[in-house]
Chains A and B, each alone.
Chain A
Amino acid sequence: MSIIKQSGESRLPVLMLFVTGTAPRSQRARTNIAKMLEQLNCTDIQPYEIDLLEQPEQGIKHSVFATPSLLKVSPTGGVSVLYGDLSEEDRLRRFLSDLDPDQ
């Protein structure tokens, strides 16, 4: 709830990246999402990072049990999730398509 409020004004989706510490796939996901946001000229968006090793209850709260996972809460409240280290660029791009200012 607090997250939506944070960005409520911007009319932009909120991104949350669920990771587990410094696990290699989590590290790759951090790099991959940063790269993609740069490509999409969305550097003002910072994924909100949740480490399930530190905050396991957040996993239950958001129903995310795989790490890394990218969770997107759209301004209308819709939630979608993308599992994995985000190495498949096309999928990631499609997932983030509503961030693209050109669309």
Chain B
Amino acid sequence: MSEKETKLQKLKTGIIGLDNITGGGLPSGQVTLLLGQAAAGKTVLSLQILARAIERGEGGVFVTFEESPAQVKRDAASFSWGVHLQESDRWQLIDARPRFNTEAAGEFDIEGLLSIVAATIAKTRATWVVFDGIDQLLQYQPDPRVAIDQVRLINEYCENNGWTLLLSGKAIGDSMAPAHLEGIEYLLSATLVLSARLVNQQLNRSLRISKFRGSGHLADELPMIIDDEGIQLPYHEHLPVDEVIASNERLSTGIKRLDKLLDGGIYRGSSLLISGRPGTAKSTLAGSFAQTAALRGERTLYVSFDEMEAPYVRNLASVGIKLRAHIEAGLIRFEDLSAYSLRVTEHFLILRRLLDSFDPHCLVIDPVSALYKASGTEGASMATEHLIDLVRRRGITTVLTSLSGIDDPEGESTLGQVSTLADSWIVLDYNVRGGERNRSLSIVKSRGSAHSNQERELLLSGDGIYLADVYEHGSEVLMGTARATREREEATAERRRQLKRKQRLLDIERRMELVERERQTLAAELELEKEESAETDRLERIQRQQIKQRRDPEKNNPPLHPASDEGGLS
């Protein structure tokens, strides 16, 4: 007993989000006050907790002071877990509505009620007891203080008998207590406040733990949704996930040159943000990624906001991205959603359920910025932040596109969070020059990768996407016709340069030839000269000999040549 008193025991509600934010459930063996205006979801919450308990094989007692038992059963039947309440005899529904013509003539006790409930609990082995709308009974109490005392009595009864009880009551305005019961919030150890407010013509539900004695809890007002699955706190339903593994595997974007710029593609399990103004080919890039994933045999959940599947797929086909076959093969699940139609939190919930049911390897949301058009007090940032967190935990590789404003091509003012959270960020834009628009692509960030910071030109054609080198001209980047012109000019100049060089070489060769010919001529001349001077020498020698003979014939001066014709000369 003393151990029970010192340590707060909690009982699971079976509502994952609620169990998460309370750290395990509501105080066991005590009363939790469930406050809210009409239609805030008090009855649904109670029924859902009972249904989950019954599903686990436990039991429950539901005492209704306001709605008819038939109405309560109809309430339950409209939810997926309603079957647990329809078929089971482990719960009892007690109709404790005061009769129509009821009056009071003095104070009364509620021990009779507790006795009735105790008898029912004994039959059903109930773990949970719900008093739904007890203010309908206690309002007959002439003195409100007596009513409050009776709530205290209920609380003591619960502690002594180990009942875990949900006591719901209608809140009026901002009051923290049900009508007629002001002050009971101080008596009870836990209080949940449900609210439903209209914001931009849409109903925004929330849940808040305004009090939880002896336990840590999240005190914020948390976005809540009621749909077929009942009450949910979409942002707080993360099941514990094994440690996220950082993969080194690179996934192709389907564009060779882009992969190269990204150092091989984007990491598996990472997120890529593609932002840009309208018409900058964001969808084309996203589609290329999905197509490539499908060709690898991987599943992609493809979410399109505000554009319908048929035109979307057709438009991509015109640039050679063929999703139709993959959709039919079940590798791509295409979901077109309307951003306006639902609240941000509902979109988040839908996406999470799609992720649960389809279990994709990759996710494309085109554009995620559409969420900013959906209404909701909680804002789109929260939804996108949770979404990125969710896919990261599950190791899903994600491509998000974001539409940026005309004046704000990088969209930083509207997408601060997403661009911070995303692992890689590609900005698409167009440059207007010389009467044309040319698409450009630049990588703003890519975590964990060396990547090119150079802007490229993005070319779309009937058979795919290409990246072209852009032409740097001084500090400018040239694209389109300007790039082509520039390229042509450059090529011509280059050709000219080469021709010139060749010409110069030829010139030199020709000059060398000329010189060679000259040398040969000179060599010939030299030979001739040599021959002539030798002849001259010989003739001179002969002449000198003849002169000597003529001057002194006695002397035997034999002729140089025994030629008789020499004598003939003399």
Task: Choose among B99, B103, B142 the residue that contacts A79 (Cβ–Cβ < 8 A).
Answer: B99
Residue of A nearest to B106 (CB): A84
Interface string of A72-87 (1 = CB under 8 A from B): 0000000111111111
**CB–CB B106/A66 < 8 A:** no
**CB–CB A25/B103 < 8 A:** no
**Consensus secondary structure, chain B interface:** mixed
Interface string of B101-125 (1 = CB under 8 A from A): 1111111111111011011100000
Task: Choose among B96, B106, B118, B140 the residue that contacts A63 (Cβ–Cβ < 8 A).
Answer: B96
Whether a CB of chain A sits under 8 angstroms from the CB of B98 is: yes
Q: For chains A and B in complex, what number of residue pairs have CB atoms within 8 angstroms?
A: 114
List A contacts of B116 (CB < 8 A).
Answer: 52, 56-57, 59-60, 65
**CB–CB B119/A56 < 8 A:** yes
Cα distance, A37 to B94, chains bound together (Å):
33
Whether a CB of chain B sits under 8 angstroms from the CB of A23 is: yes
Interface string of B477-516 (1 = CB under 8 A from A): 0000000000000000000000000000000000000000
Whether a CB of chain B sits under 8 angstroms from the CB of A92 is: yes
Cα distance, A87 to B116, chains bound together (Å):
25
Whether a CB of chain B sits under 8 angstroms from the CB of A102 is: no
Known: A53-B115, A56-B115, A81-B98. A86 touches B106 (CB 8 A): yes
**CB–CB B94/A95 < 8 A:** no
**CB–CB B107/A52 < 8 A:** no
Of B108, B113, B119, B142, most buried by chain A (CB within 10 Å of CB) is B108
**CB–CB B110/A83 < 8 A:** no
Task: Choose among A59, A63, A84, A92 the residue that contacts B99 (Cβ–Cβ < 8 A).
Answer: A63
Of B102, B112, B142, most buried by chain A (CB within 10 Å of CB) is B112
Residue of B nearest to A83 (CB): B104
B122 → A minimal CB distance (Å): 10
List B contacts of A52 (CB < 8 A).
Answer: 111-112, 115-116
Cα distance, A101 to B236, chains bound together (Å):
68
Cα distance, A92 to B468, chains bound together (Å):
96
Known: A81-B99, A84-B104. A57 touches B119 (CB 8 A): yes
A65 → B minimal CB distance (Å): 4
Cα distance, A83 to B110, chains bound together (Å):
11
List B contacts of A86 (CB < 8 A).
Answer: 105-106
Cα distance, A51 to B69, chains bound together (Å):
25
Cα distance, A82 to B104, chains bound together (Å):
5
Task: Choose among A19, A23, A64, A88 the residue that contacts B105 (Cβ–Cβ < 8 A).
Answer: A88
Interface residues of A in 21-51 (CB under 8 A from B): 21, 23, 25-26, 28-29, 32
Whether a CB of chain A sits under 8 angstroms from the CB of B137 is: yes
List B contacts of A66 (CB < 8 A).
Answer: 108-110, 112-113, 137, 140
Whether a CB of chain A sits under 8 angstroms from the CB of B152 is: no
List B contacts of A23 (CB < 8 A).
Answer: 109, 111
Cα distance, A22 to B104, chains bound together (Å):
20
**CB–CB A67/B102 < 8 A:** no
Which 9 pairs between the two chains have the least Cβ-Cβ distance?
A84-B106, A52-B112, A91-B105, A67-B112, A85-B106, A87-B106, A56-B119, A88-B105, A65-B113
Which residues in B have some Cβ–Cβ distance to A below 8 Å? 94-99, 101-113, 115-116, 118-120, 137, 140, 142
Can you offer 17 A-B residue contacts whose CB atoms are under 8 A?
A: A20-B109, A23-B111, A56-B118, A57-B116, A59-B112, A59-B115, A65-B96, A65-B137, A67-B108, A67-B109, A67-B111, A70-B105, A81-B98, A83-B105, A83-B106, A87-B105, A95-B105
